[in-house]
A and B are shown apart, each in its own frame.
Chain A
Amino acid sequence: MAATVETVEQVRGIEKYKYGFVTDIESETAPKGLSEDTVRFISAKKNEPEWLLELRLKAYRHWLTMPEPEWAKVQFPPIDYQDSYYYSAPKSPDDRPKSLDEVDPKLLETYEKLGIPLTEQKMLAGVAVDAVFDSVSVATTFKKNLEEVGVIFCSISEAVQKHPELVRKYLGSVVPYGDNKHACLNSAVFTDGSFVYIPKGVRCPMELSTYFRINAENTGQFERTLIIADEGSYVSYLEGCTAPMRDENQLHAAIVELITLDDAEIKYSTVQNWYPGDEDGKGGIYNFVTKRGACRGRNSKISWTQVETGSAITWKYPSCILQGDNSVGEFYSIAITNNRQQADTGTKMIHLGKNTRSRIIAKGISAGRSDSTYRGLVRISAKAEGARNFTQCDSLLIGDRCGAHTVPYIESKNRNAILEHEATTSRISEDQLFYCRQRGISEEDAVALVVNGFCREVMQQLPMEFAVEAQKLVGISLEGSVG
């Protein structure tokens, strides 16, 4: 059928990765491989306090004893942890650029290609960008505007220096170092990432954003993000990723920790389009991310929205621990896999407080020879009186060589909790197409219409700033993109 062919071509189009280029910049790099010395090297480079080094070493020693997690439905050769660099900073980290003028023009050029509105589009986009280039934050913009309202938005290394009490209090409090092997590795060797603190009662005046980009060859990137929303505050955080084309698999093990206190809200949106490998599955990023938010306070809320289109392997479960009474957790996800991509993604909603609510909407689209799995846990503890969960997972298959899987775990220990879970798997039905065609809509438009409808619930959750990028990436799933 013509429309199906078109659709497949569209999916293929997405695969032709336009951000595949490598910028040649001298890096100061730790020796290849992982050992206690590497950990000490990173810590020393960052001039870290003793307690953080201790934490890193503890994590490293624990990491050595942990087995590889094997429960996810993904397959890849064993990772050689010694065949990677764990620290690489752009040239002269001791002499960091004071303003954009001092930034290496080549770096700016890279951003230009990526379309990051770092310079001229600063105000226009209304987005503060903390651009992470490999492992060290190069420039942080809009700081002034944020400082006026007391928002702290900086790299985590800077936060360690300037706000050690906050970092020490919250770092690892949501994702302890022994949580899983990948998180443990991150705890030992994390190099940089973002730190956000929104003070009491402040509604962050703009959407905060970080663009990540893996650059130096063979460098796994280990970001660490920590966002704290104090009582009554609100922040919307955007995360987007692109990575250059290469043939070797790159390990990426990030940790994101979110904390909301009473009446606070964090909205965390991700568009992930890292290099997925070529058509035969060669190369591509291993994206093993631990993202978790804790709704510590009453009436607090954490909302995760993700559009996952890249990476050879995605292993990612943004979760919410709903501790505070009346707290709310949300998870909206679109995962698109093509060629040989494998995605095992989902969420965990742990209901601990009374009247806690959670909502999960996951849409998976598989094409080519890819596999996409939704894996989610909803757990209602005995004390979570009146808890409520609604889960909907839908999968769409394009082509007969791909796979779509749904693995929900539903555990309830409270009679006053109500849980509902629904999942469907289908392809675009002939009836739907026929119905549209009958009304004079072209086949291509009909497919676009149906796919658009399929993803809409999640797309609507994305902030405006991401809508354009998401539109490009999802491609097939939006109006007018087919035909």
Chain B
Amino acid sequence: MTEAFNEHFGALRDQLPGQDLPWLTALRERGLQHFAESGLPTPRLETWKYTSLRPVEKVAFAAEGVPRACISIDRAPSLLPETTESHRMVFVDGHFRSDLSRLGELPKGAQLLPLTEQMSADPDWLASQLDHLNGPKVQPMLALNTAMMMNGFVLRLARGTVLHHPVEVVHLGGAGDAPLAYHPRNLVILAEGSQATLIEHFSHLGDQPYLNNTMTEVTVGDGAIFRHYKLQADALNAFNLATVKAEVGRDGLYDAFSMTTGARLSRNEVSVKLAGEGANCHLNGAYLVRGDQHCDNTTMIDHLVPNTTCREVFKGVIDERARAVFQGKLTVHRDAQHTNGHQLSKALLLSDRAEIDAKPELEIYADDVICSHGATAGDLDHDALFYLRARGIPEATARSMLIEAFLGETVDQIAAEGLCPALMSSIGHWLAGTRREF
């Protein structure tokens, strides 16, 4: 597989955007070199202990420099009610589709562009921001993304800019006539005191398998607020490996939620550095998996300075032969006193063959902190089930009600107007075994 990606790079070398930018070419070369050295991650790496990419390796992916979607559509799905205004960007198989997008009117100081346009519009600024959150030890999939990034979006808010309407980014896969691998790269830079909400929606069109290896870099400036919500409802033969790296400044807030219902194998890896005093982050998530799905939520939160807080709750439902992984690491660095960190993982196993692997981890080097984590796994509460059935509710309905309530708690935390009903309806559709229509 490692060789296959090397070939992709060779084949696409002349088509990758930003050929005229020497710094970008150098960055890509470095990424490729990193990836060639490490290869695809294997369970032998502690951070990939429970997730094997073997199913990915079995598919012969192609890479394409030019869009060649075989399925044409005239509109893309939305998670927001039609009456809600938003700034929409649509990507099909990793390529930006201006015809489906509707960027709308942005307030002064706000910029929302595809990555390729940013490359030509302001390459120097991009050079200063791209890849700057990555240390020397780059994770393999991220290195691959750096080498192969084709497109993505750049959201940039100047000091004090408040985006009143959410940004909605839709990623549609499987539109081509062959299995495709693509590596979107996104950049979110919120300057001091600015505010934005981003809704990402991953879905699919055709029936071809695809690998979406997304990397998103997020910088939340002092006092800025970034709300980042995601629904991953990819095709059940697709692979979604998403990495988010975020850094939060003084009194800033990074509020993230992700719901996973799709993909044969998915990994949602989020690492957050709380770098300014008073920085705060919420990392919440819900997952619903069945069949032979594998869903991995891996988070790393670094409290670098005093007086930072984090709240993390992941809840999931696992049915049939599916397997879910939760790895949450909370690190309190030396002198990061008065850290307040809480983490919780709860999983419901609905079948005899379902599996949950949880690894909630605390690493603490400061004494005046309050940190805790909890993890539970088990079936639905039999008493609650009995209570409902005693009131004449059929078992199947009772189960659905309890599951909805269980996951609903996480959805309730979302602060984006109009998004919650769509997520709750995704839960309802999952329970009914149907697909949510556009």
Contacts and interface: CB of A to CB of B under 8 A. Distances in A.
B361 A410 contact: no
A340 to B, nearest CB: 15
Contacts of B337: 400
Contact of B376 (A397, A400, A421): A421
Interface stretch (B58-66, B259-267, B344-352): B344-352
Interface stretch (A259-267, A295-303, A424-432): A424-432
A412 B362 contact: no
The residue in B352, B360, B372, B377 that gathers the most chain A C-beta atoms within 10 A of its C-beta is B377
Interface string B13-34: 0000000000000000000000
A425 B369 contact: yes
Nearest to A424: B372
Contacts of B353: 382, 413
Interface in B363-378: 363-378
A281 interface: no
Nearest to B50: A411
A423 B374 contact: yes
B311 interface: no
B359 interface: yes
Contacts of A412: 347, 349, 355-357, 377-378
Nearest to B332: A425
B378 A406 contact: no
Interface string A375-404: 000001010000000000001011111111
A469 B356 CA distance: 42
Given A71-B46, A408-B361, A413-B355, A425 B377 contact: no
B86 to A, nearest CB: 39
A416 interface: yes
B104 to A, nearest CB: 45
Chain A interface size, as a band, is 35 or more
B359 A418 contact: no
Given A397-B367, A398-B367, A415 B374 contact: no
A422 B335 contact: no
A227 B367 CA distance: 41
Chain B interface size, as a band, is 35 or more
Given A405-B361, A408-B361, A415-B351, A422 B356 contact: no
Contacts of B335: 400
A108 to B, nearest CB: 45
Contacts of B124: none
Nearest to A385: B352
B44 to A, nearest CB: 11
B358 interface: yes
A409 B377 contact: no
A399 B364 CA distance: 12
Nearest to B373: A423
B371 A426 contact: yes
Contact of A421 (B349, B363, B370, B374): B374
Given A410-B375, A417-B377, A424-B372, A405 B362 contact: yes
B7 interface: no
B359 A410 contact: yes
A407 B361 contact: yes
B349 A414 contact: yes
Nearest to A418: B378
B372 A425 contact: yes
B150 interface: no
Interface in B354-413: 354-379
A71 B45 CA distance: 10
B387 to A, nearest CB: 18
Contacts of A403: 363-365
B226 to A, nearest CB: 28
Query: A-B pairs with the 10 shortest C-beta distances?
Result: A397-B367, A415-B349, A418-B378, A421-B375, A410-B358, A406-B362, A424-B372, A412-B377, A419-B377, A425-B371
12 contacts: A71-B46, A382-B353, A395-B362, A404-B364, A408-B359, A409-B357, A412-B356, A412-B377, A415-B351, A418-B376, A420-B374, A423-B374
Interface of A: 71, 380, 382, 395, 397-427
Given A418-B379, A424-B371, 9 more contacts: A410-B375, A411-B355, A411-B357, A412-B355, A412-B377, A416-B379, A417-B349, A420-B374, A421-B376
